Amino acid sequence: MLPYYCASVLAVFLLGMSHLLFWPMLPVAWGAARQIKTSSIYLLAFVTGILHDLIWSKPIGAGAIFLVLLCVLTVFLQKRFKSQNRIFLLVLVLGQVGYIVLSQIGFI
């Protein structure tokens, strides 16, 4: 399990290395893969989003909106896929791609 997580993180890190902002997706992906309570995943996403906005000097709230929406997608994925590994990687990749797109248009 752990080597798979590490390999996924490394792959996604390389995918968006020019941003080095892949980390906000990690708690959400981890929470989804570990199948923690849905309410806890949302809280985790909100707190991570606010922290991200503060640390990277982004508009406060933008990162939180993005991560909460990613969580909605994650909850949907949890119902579709049973494989924790697959969910972890999907959330990371979708999160990273979405993040790059939104940061290029200046939303986050």
Partner 1 sequence: MNASSLKLPLFYIVISLVLLLLYQAKILNPFLNITQMVTVPIQYAAFSFRDGIEDQFSVLTFWRSGESRIRQLEQRNAELTAKAAQVEGLERENQELKNQLGSKALPVTELIPVAIVGFDHDLVIGAGSNQGVKVGQAVIYLDNLVGKVNRVEPRVSFVQLPNDGSAKIPCKIKLVRCISSGQFNSTILLDRVTQTEEVVSGDIVQTSGQEGLFPPNLVIGKVGKILSTETDLFVQAQIEPVIDYSKLTTVFLLP
Binding site for partner 1 (CB under 8 A): 17-21, 38-39, 42-43, 45-46, 49-50, 54-57, 59-62, 64-65, 68-69, 71-72, 75-76, 103-106
- Which residues neighbour 86 within 8 Å (Cβ) at sequence distance 6 or greater? none
H-run or E-run covering 15: helix 2-15
In angstroms, give the least distance from the CB of 79 to partner 1: 8
| Identity of the residue, 67 or 85, whose beta carbon is nearer to partner 1 in the bound complex | 67
CB nearer to partner 1: give 61 or 86.
61
Name the CA dihedral angle for 12, 16, 19, 23, rounded to a multiple of 10 degrees: -10
